[in-house]
Amino acid sequence: MSKRTGYVVGGVAVGLVLLWVLPLWAALLIIIGVPVGGYLALDKSQRARLKRVTRKEIGR
């Protein structure tokens, strides 16, 4: 199993636990809010670079 696959499996597991433990609206807020917060934490040049690269290149 690759490193990326491990991250995906872990993310899905955390998401399912959140959906089970928290109310639906709170779990969705966390599941959507964390990646959006991470994106907004980037500075302008990092966001531009992230938009330029393709999905396959992000993991390298």
Global pTM value: 0.58
pLDDT at 55: 61
3-state secondary structure the chain: CCHHHHHHHHHHHHHHHHHHHCCHHHHHHHHHHHHHHHHHHCCHHHHHHHHHCCHHHHCC
Note down the domain range covering 20: 3-58
* Total domain count, the chain: 1
pLDDT in tens, 3-51: 889 988 998 898 888 888 888 888 888 888 888 998 999 999 988 888 8
